[in-house]
Structure 1
Amino acid sequence: MFILNEYSSSEQLTQDMVKNIVTELKSAVNKRGVASIAVSGGKTPIPLFNILSKQQLPWSKIYITLVDDRWVDSTDDASNEKLVITHLLQNEATLANFIGLKNNAQTPFKGELATQEKLAEIPMPFDVVILGMGEDGHTASLFPHAENLSSGLDMHSNKVVVGMTPLTAPLDRITLTLPAILNSQNIYLHLVGNSKKTVLAQALDGKDIVDMPIRAILQQDKVKVVGFWCN
């Protein structure tokens, strides 16, 4: 099921997303003693990260990982890990348990197993997964028509992560697989701008997930997906 919440300002959207995330993480800690969240990179979530980092949460019981990352060093400006360290693992959230996706393997394909073993530390299912969406209909690093896309979308696979070489973006990536993303209690889709709303409409209208992998998230009935959009 997909629900779209629309906001008149990015500030309103961010405040509402933070409120929802805080509620879910607190609830999870109360129920099972720990909580987990997977977040996306890019410029869009930076204001969200800045505000979320200041929330009064039992951060030492909260595990944070990434939905995907470029296969670059964590000091590289293209690294989602660097983005999260800079903007989310600050203030109150310095106490959180962060597990990145990048390791010392030469390629993400060679590093898959080591990353999967690291991610075994994270309490599953995820309590919250925050996704973005590209103009090409990709989400996480599940890119249209990528050579390894079928492996990332395989619902019968036990893989938590796969390497990915996008056709529409630079740098090799590592990404959570579709079954790993759907192993969650809540999926939030964070969208800003009219162009993203147009892409969303296209994704909801068609069926080909190889053409627009975001459809695999929007059109499944395993987990409720809530979209947060503003212009």
Structure 2
Amino acid sequence: MEATAMAQLKPHEFDSRTDLDIWLAREIAAALETAISERGSASLAVSGGRTPLGMFQQLRQMRLDWDKVWITLVDDRWLPADHPDSNEALVREHLLKYQLAAAHFVPLKTVHEQPAAALADIDQRLRAIPQPFDVVVLGMGDDGHTASLFPCAAELEAAADPANPRLVAALQPMSAPYGRISLTLATIARARNLLLHITGSKKKQIFEAAMAASAAEPHLPVRRVLDRAPGVCHVFWAE
């Protein structure tokens, strides 16, 4: 992958997903350690799905003052916290264990029936976390969505508006089940360290096509997020 000036990308390619997971976990831990040293605490937002599971395993082994770290999700499905499709359930099972049990976890799901009704409450929760986020780890879907910023969602434009003052947005993608709650584009783009984690040749091709699209073409959400990031975005990829 070649970096583009518009997105200030720094690519990192690995021979194996295990190597990627190790290096990504180290990068996250180093950024969190720097934040703790400089500001006394650190904040991390992670994505769900299967891609980050190996990285979670590696991150659990990193020695850090985890009691000074706040962790939340980039996005989640509007489901009970114990539902098998819940990102919260996945993070609790695979990340918040052993040393990381000491971290402060802030879930996105509330008792509200619909995510749109919960925006003010979730905003208040997240504003208790050190902002901007020290580290945000994004994934990407085959349609170019990142977080729950789906290109097919009617709510995308509001969620991707850089002037949106909320930290989160509610979306109902037409191509995926369940209502969603997601960090807004502006919240993600403000992160001190923005890391994109993708695997497989198909996603690499989708990502490269998204970044190569001309200004006249509609940009996929992953491109829109990275174009708004003021610093360097590190892209981690392995087959």
- Distance, in Å, in 2 between the alignment partners of 1:195 and 1:92 is 35
How many residues are treated as equivalent by the alignment? Answer: 231
Matches within 5 A, 1:92-107: 92-107=99-114
**Is contact 1:160-1:180 (8 Å) kept?**
yes
- Distance, in Å, in 2 between the alignment partners of 1:145 and 1:88 is 30
3-state SS in 1 of match to 2:228? coil
- Of the candidates 61, 81, 96, which is equivalent to residue 68 of structure 2? 61
Specify the alignment match of 2:196 in structure 1: 189
Q: Which residues of structure 2 form unaligned runs of 5+?
A: 1-7
3-state SS in 1 of match to 2:99? helix
Between stretches 29-38 and 219-228, larger displacement belongs to 219-228
Q: 4+ runs of 1 displaced by more than 6 Å?
A: none
Identity of aligned residues (%): 39
- Of the candidates 211, 231, 236, which is equivalent to residue 228 of structure 1? 236
- Of the candidates 149, 160, 176, which is equivalent to residue 142 of structure 1? 149
- Distance, in Å, in 2 between the alignment partners of 1:218 and 1:196 is 16
Counterpart of 2:30 in structure 1: which amino acid? Answer: T
TM-score after normalising by structure 2:
0.94
Say whether residues 1:165 and 2:172 are aligned partners.
Answer: yes
- Distance, in Å, in 2 between the alignment partners of 1:209 and 1:159 is 27
CA offset at residue 223 of structure 1? Answer: 2.7
- Distance, in Å, in 2 between the alignment partners of 1:14 and 1:154 is 32
3-state SS in 2 of match to 1:214? helix
**Is contact 1:204-1:219 (8 Å) kept?**
no
Counterpart of 2:150 in structure 1: which amino acid? Answer: F
CA offset at residue 219 of structure 1? Answer: 2.4
- Distance, in Å, in 1 between the alignment partners of 2:216 and 2:236 is 23
Counterpart of 1:230 in structure 2: which amino acid? Answer: A
Specify the alignment match of 2:52 in structure 1: 45
- Distance, in Å, in 2 between the alignment partners of 1:94 and 1:155 is 34
Say whether residues 1:205 and 2:212 are aligned partners.
Answer: yes
Say whether residues 1:131 and 2:141 are aligned partners.
Answer: no
Two-structure CA RMSD over aligned residues (Å): 1.2
3-state SS in 1 of match to 2:105? strand
Q: 1:13-55, CA deviations, whole angstroms, 9 ceiling, x for partnerless residues?
A: 1111011111101010000000000000000001111121121
Specify the alignment match of 1:219 in structure 2: 227
**Is contact 1:154-1:178 (8 Å) kept?**
yes
Specify the alignment match of 2:13 in structure 1: 6
